Chains A and B, each alone.
Chain A
């Protein structure tokens, strides 16, 4: 079945450092979504990318969708303690646009003040 591989699994940074997590697929994706789960919380939708080469920004967060639509990245500039959590990418499953979302295993970010 369709899978999305996410790396790294864990990332520990000093506050103020940058952070990047990567999501890769062996198949072309119709779209990719990113979610954030705070410790003890539930996943919350951050953004969706649809177009080849698309780049979207949300304050210090930059999301990219690869030209071949097989990979994506989330980059956080100058991390803050509020960025702590697990970041998941998710792609539409085999059911097509109305189908389920397949999540990567997530990257757990810890930020040392």
Chain B
């Protein structure tokens, strides 16, 4: 158990639908990141939040949105789902090292299947 909790673990839905993925970071971590991993693909950075504020944005589609709440948990909302959105969605939280770089702790992921 990494300390980062993601729900649900698996989700099957239809095209055009909307889903919400939830993430609770490790205790004490203020930053939350969302990554998308398609089959045999790398980790595509979607978005980062730090203490409730959006910090960095990657290749996140307009159909996707996220937020981080005062209790630091985060939600990733995916709407108007398409077949190509089927992927593993990872949440990670971070603590800064002495060098200032962020070391990520990943959750187990939420596997989304769009039929």
Task: State whether these chains interact.
Answer: yes
- Contact size range, B: 20 to 34
Expressed in whole angstroms, the minimum distance between the Cβ of B105 and any Cβ of chain A is: 7
Chain A interface (Cβ within 8 Å of chain B)? 30-31, 33, 35, 41-45, 48, 50, 88, 90, 92-95, 97-106, 108
B97:A105 contact, CB within 8 angstroms: no
Which B18-76 residues have C-beta < 8 A from chain A?
A: 31, 33, 35, 40-43, 45, 48, 50, 55-56, 58
**B106: which of A44, A102, A105 is its contact (CB, 8 Å)?**
A44
Expressed in whole angstroms, the minimum distance between the Cβ of B60 and any Cβ of chain A is: 11
Between A and B, 17 residue pairs with Cβ closer than 8 Å are: A30-B99, A30-B101, A31-B101, A33-B101, A33-B104, A42-B106, A42-B108, A43-B92, A48-B97, A48-B103, A92-B102, A95-B55, A97-B99, A99-B56, A100-B102, A101-B33, A108-B40
Majority secondary structure, B binding face:
strand
Query: With A97-B96, A104-B42 in contact, do A45 and B105 touch (Cβ < 8 Å)?
Result: yes
Cα distance A44–B43 in the bound complex, in angstroms: 13
Given contacts A45-B105, A88-B43, A93-B58, 9 further A-B contacts (CB under 8 A): A31-B99, A97-B102, A98-B31, A98-B96, A98-B100, A99-B48, A100-B45, A103-B45, A105-B42
Contacts of A43 in B (CB 8 A): 43, 90, 92, 104, 106
B99:A100 contact, CB within 8 angstroms: no
Q: Max chain A CB contacts within 10 Å: which of B43, B104, B106?
A: B43
**A42: which of B2, B31, B48, B55 is its contact (CB, 8 Å)?**
B2
B42:A101 contact, CB within 8 angstroms: no
Contacts of A33 in B (CB 8 A): 101, 103-104
